[in-house]
Amino acid sequence: MSVSRYEPPRRRDTAALIIAAGLVVIGGVMLWDSARLADLGGYSGVGPASVPRVVGFALMGLAVWTAVEALRGDFPQRAPQNALPVLWIVAGLAAQLMLLHVAGFSIATGILFAFTARAFGKRNLATTIPIGIVVSFVVWAIFSQLLMLHLPAGPLEHLIFPRG
Amino acid sequence: MSAFEFLMQGLGTAADPMMLLYALIGVTLGTAVGVLPGIGPALTVALLLPVTYRLDPAGSLIMFAGIYYGGMYGGSTTSILLNTPGESASIITALEGNKMARKGRGGPALATAAIGSFIAGLIATLLLAFLAPSIVKLALVFGPREYFALMVLAFVTVSAAFGDSALRGLTSLFLGLALACVGIDQLTGQARLSFGVPELLDGIEVTTMAVAMFAVGEALFIAGQRVQVDDEVTAVKGSIWMNRRDWARSWKPWLRGTFIGFPIGAMPAGGAEIGTFLSYATEKKLTKHPEEFGNGAIEGVAGPEAANNASAAGTLVPLLTLGLPTSATAAIMLAGFQQFGLQPGPLLFATNPTLVWGLIASLLIANAMLLVLNLPMIGLWVKLLTVPKPWLYAGILLFATLGTIGANPSAFELGMLLAFGVLGYVMRLFGYPIAPIVVGLILGPMAEQQLRRALAISQGDWTTLVQSPIAATLLGIAALALIVPLILRARGKGEVLSQLAGDED
C-alpha cells in the first residue's frame, strides 16, 4: 500500500468504532447463545441454532465493515446534540415505568408528559405536572371506561371511578 | 365467484352502520394524527393500534384501514402547509406544495392533493380487488422456498437497495433479525436468547418496538437538536377550490401518478418513496410550464400525491395476498392482523373471505369519506398543525406509552419501550434507517420458518433453494438489488438512491 499525499486528512470516528464494538458484542452473544442450544436439525440439518449463528456472523462482518468506514471517516457528519433535553425525556419514561403500578396511570404518565414538555422548552414543572395529570386522566377515562383497555389504576383513578 | 361479486359482498359487509361508524372514527383519527407534524403513516398506524384492541376483528380492521388512508391524507396537508424539509412520506409534495401555499395558492394545492389522493385511492383499491384473486392463485403454487426467496428480496430492497448506505441499511436489518430470534423457537420449542427472563420467551413485541423506534426515538432526536427549527405554518388564503385551469393541469398527473405508484407499491420495494419521486420526475419532463417547477407547479403536487396513495394501496397487495409486509407501515398492519390470530395470505381469502373483502371494500368507503372530511374541514386540520412542540411531543409520548401499557401493563414492556427508544435515537443520530429493523423483526421469523421447511423437504439439500425457477429468479433479483446499488455508490452516483429512500415507511 502506498500512502497518497493528495488524500485529505481522515479523521477517525470514535463513536462509529464504538458502534462496531457493540455489533461485535451482539454478534458474540448470538453465537454464544446458539452454541448452548441442542441442535435438533432433523432431516434438514438446519436447527434452531442455525439462523442465530448466521445472523451472529453477519453482525460480526458488518462490525468489521463499520470499523473500516469509521477509520476512513466515511460516516456522515452528525449535527451536534444537546444532552439535557434527551435526558429529561429518558427520565420521564423511567419515572413513568417505576410509578405506573404504585401511583396509577394518570400520575405516572402526567410526570412523563411534564418532563417531555420540559425537554421542549416548557420549563415550569409546577404547572405542567398538573396539566399532564389532568390530560392523562382524561385519556385514562376514555380508554379504560369506553374502550375497555386495561390501564393500571391508582389512588386518583379509584377516587373518581370507585369501581375502577 | 368473481372479484366483482366478492367486492359487492364486501361492500355489503362494510356498509353495515356499525362498520361505517368504525370507518368514520378510523379516518378521522387517522387524519388528525397524520396531520400532526413529524408523524408519518407508520407512526400513525402504530399509535392508533391500541384503539382497536377491544373491537371485533372485522370492525377493528376496517377502522385500521381508515386510519391508514387517513394518515396518508393528513401527511399531505402537513407537507403542503409546513415548511419542514425532511418531513417523511410526502417530501416531494412539499417541494411544490409549500411553494404554492406561500404564493397564496394553498387551497388549490390541498384540493389537488386530496382529489388526486381520492382518485388514486379509488383506482388502486379497485386494482387491488381485481388483482388479489389471481395473485392468491399464484401464491398457492408457492412453496416454502419461493416464500423464502420472496422474503430475501424484501429484506434486500428494504435495507440495501435504497438509502445512502448499504452498510447502515444492512446493519439495521440484521439487528432486526437478531431481535427476531429472541423467544421460543417455533419448530423445536427451545428458548433462544432469552437469558432466563420469562418475559422474553414470547419474543419482542413488534408494536412496542415500532412505537419505540418511531415515536420515542424521534422525540429524543428532535429534543436533542441544538438548532430548533421553528415550523412555520402557511395560512390558507383565498378559495380552496381549483379553477378550470387547475383541473385541466391536474387530471393527467393524477392518472399517471396512480399508474406509477401502484405497481411500485405492490412490488417488494414498497418501502421507498420511489413512486412519488418517479411521478415528480415524469411530470417535470412532460409539463408545458417547466418554469413553474420549483416555484409551485400544481402538477408537482397532483402527480406525487396520487402516486403516494396508489403505492399505499399497492403495499396492501403483497400484505393481503402473500402475508408479506414490504414497508414499516405494512409490518405494523400485519401486527394488527396478528392480534386477532389472523394471518394474511392466500389462506385468509379462502377461510375468511367476508373479512378480507369487507376490508377491501371499506378502503373504498374510507377513501370517499376522506374526500368529504378533508376539503370542507381543512380549517380544522390546519389548527392541529399549530400545536406547540412541547404539547405535541408530550402528547405523542403519552399515546406511545398508552399503547404499550394497553397491550401489556408491565414495567418490563415499558423498559423495552425505553431501551428501543434510545436505540432508535442512536440510529437516527448516526443515519441508520429505521424501516429495515422493523421489517427484519416481523419478517425474520417467517423467513426462518420457510427456510427450515424448505430444507426439511429437501432433506438438507441447499441447492433446492435455487432449483425452482421462481425462487431462483427472485433470489437473482435480490442479488442484483444488493450489488448494483453498491456499484452505483462506489461510482459516486449514490445521491439518487438516497433521495429515493423514504424516511419512515
The verdict on residue B49 lying in a domain is yes
Which pLDDT value is given to residue B103? Answer: 81
Set of chain A residues whose Cβ sits within 8 Å of the Cβ of B178: 26, 30, 52, 55-56, 59
Query: What is the pLDDT, as a whole number, of residue B83?
Result: 63
- Please check whether residue B15 lies inside any domain of the structure: yes
Task: Identify the pLDDT of residue B86.
Answer: 42
DSSP string of B103-131, one letter each residue: IIIHHHHHHHHHHHHHHHHHHHHHHHHHH
Beta-carbon count within 10 A of A74 CB = 14
A36 burial level (CB within 10 Å; 0-12, 13-18, 19+): exposed
B327 in any annotated domain: yes
Q: Residues B124, B335, A39, CA angle at the centre, nearest 5°? A: 125
Q: Which residue has the higher pLDDT, A148 or B499?
A: A148
B residues 22-61 lying closer than 8 A (beta carbon) to A? 50-51, 53-54
Query: Which pLDDT score is estimated for A164?
Result: 52
- Among residues B499, B35, B434, B74, which one has the least CA distance to residue B231? B35
pLDDT, tens digit (0-9, with 9 covering 90-100), for A81-125: 888 999 999 999 999 999 998 898 999 999 999 999 999 888 888
Residues 214..253 of B with a Cβ closer than 8 Å to A: which? 216, 219-220, 222-228
Q: How far apart are CA B236 and CA B106, in angstroms?
A: 5
Distance, CA of B327 to CA of B155 (rounded, Å):
10
Q: What is the pLDDT of residue A4?
A: 42
Residues A114, B394: C-beta atoms closer than 8 Å: yes
Which residue of chain A has the CA closest to B194? Answer: A33
Q: Out of B195, B225, B458, whose CB is closest to A81? A: B225
Contacts of B208 in chain A (CB under 8 A): none
What's residue A84's pLDDT? 92
- Sequence-ordered list of residues with C-beta below 8 angstroms from that of A162, at least 6 positions apart, any chain: none
Pick from B253, B254, B354: nearest CA to B9: B354
Residue B182 φ/ψ region, left for φ over 0, alpha for ψ in the -120 to 50 degree band, beta for the rest: beta
pLDDT score of A109? 93
Q: Shortest Cα distance from A120 to chain B (angstroms)?
A: 5
Residue of B nearest to A17 (CA): B430
Work out the average pLDDT over A61-72.
91
| Contact between B394 and A113 using a beta-carbon 8 Å cutoff | yes
Candidate from A48, A85, A151 with C-beta closest to B188: A48
Dihedral, CA of residue B52, residue B55, residue B57 and residue B62, to nearest 10 = -60
Does a structural domain hold residue B238? no
CB atoms A100 and B414 under 8 Å: yes
Instruction: State the Cα–Cα distance between residues B330 and A130, nearest whole angstrom.
Output: 38
Number of domains making up chain B:
1
Tell me which residue of A126, A124, A156 sits closest to A138, measured CA to CA.
A156
Question: Residue B263 has which C-alpha cell?
Answer: 405497481
Q: Which residues pair with A81 in a beta bridge?
A: B225
| pLDDT tens digit at each of 505 positions of chain B | 677 888 888 888 778 888 888 889 889 888 888 888 777 777 888 887 777 777 788 888 888 888 888 888 887 888 788 765 444 455 677 778 888 888 878 888 888 888 888 999 999 999 988 888 888 888 888 888 998 998 898 888 888 776 678 889 899 999 999 999 998 887 777 888 888 888 888 888 888 898 898 889 988 988 888 766 666 677 666 666 777 888 888 888 889 889 888 888 887 665 546 777 788 888 888 888 777 777 778 888 888 888 888 888 888 888 888 888 877 788 888 888 887 888 888 888 888 888 888 888 888 888 889 888 887 777 777 777 778 888 989 998 998 898 888 888 888 999 999 999 999 999 988 888 888 898 899 889 889 988 988 888 888 788 888 888 889 998 998 898 888 888 887 776 655 555 555 444 4
For residues B122 and B364, is the Cβ–Cβ distance under 8 A?
A: yes
Whether B316 is in a domain gets the answer: yes
Cβ distance of B390 and A117 shorter than 8 Å? yes
pLDDT given at position B420: 95
pLDDT tens readout for residues A12-66: 788 889 999 999 999 999 999 888 876 665 666 677 888 899 999 999 999 999 9
The H-or-E segment that residue B192 falls in is: strand B191-192
Phi and psi torsions of B266, nearest 5°: -75, -25
What is the span of the domain harbouring residue B19? 3-228+243-500
What is the distance between the alpha carbons of residues A119 and A122, in angstroms, rounded to a whole number?
7
Mean pLDDT of A140-147: 83
- Residue B418 domain-assigned (yes or no): yes
Query: Helix H segments across B101-205?
Result: 106-140, 144-156, 166-180
**pLDDT at res. B228:** 63
CA angle B282, B287, B288 (to 5 degrees): 165
* Cβ pair A59:B430 closer than 8 A: no
Residue B127 lies in a domain: yes
CA distance A87 to B227: 17
Q: Decide if B356 is inside a domain.
A: yes
Task: Please report the residues numbered 48 through 107 in chain A whose beta carbons come closer than 8 angstroms to any beta carbon of chain B.
Answer: 48, 50-52, 55-56, 58-59, 62, 65-66, 69, 75-76, 78-83, 85-86, 88-90, 92-94, 96-98, 100-101, 105
Distance from CA of A89 to the nearest CA of B (A): 7
Judged by a CB distance cut-off of 8 A, whether residue B187 touches chain A is yes
Q: Chain B partners of A81 at a C-beta cutoff of 8 Å?
A: 224-226, 429
So what's the pLDDT on residue B1?
Answer: 61
Q: What is the rounded CA–CA span in Å between residue B160 and residue B143?
A: 26
- B313 vs A: CB within 8 A: no
pLDDT at A1 over 60: no
